[in-house]
Amino acid sequence: TMYSKELMQHFRKPRNQGRMENPDAVGKGGNPVCGDVMYIYLKIEDDRIEDVKFETFGCAAAIGTTSKITEMVKGKTLDEAIEVTKKDVEEAVGGLPPVKRHCSNLSASVLHKAINKYRSEKAKT
């Protein structure tokens, strides 16, 4: 197969999947080329990600990488979570075929969008 065992486990049994009621931040992103669309929802307490959920409409790699990134950042501070790179996600799922690397890029960028949105809203108050 072109996907690692780790990625397939996250695709078949995604962790933290679903919409979150009253999130503190939402990141949204998509890739017009492949049609993937991703939402990452964050519950934040004392600058720490208390809970994280996602909705991804897309291929196995998109769903698998988003599931994995939620596990990677749950419980982390916002400073720690914003440091998670697309390369970190790709390595955490055991690598991706070159044609699917945009999926890990998307999950990391959507996470960063959610954190940055939260921070900019908080700065206004």
The residues annotated as belonging to the active site are 34, 103
Tell me the C-alpha to C-alpha distance, in Å, between residue 69 and each of 1, 46, 82, 120, 125: 22, 20, 11, 22, 29
Distance CA 41, CA 24 (A): 8
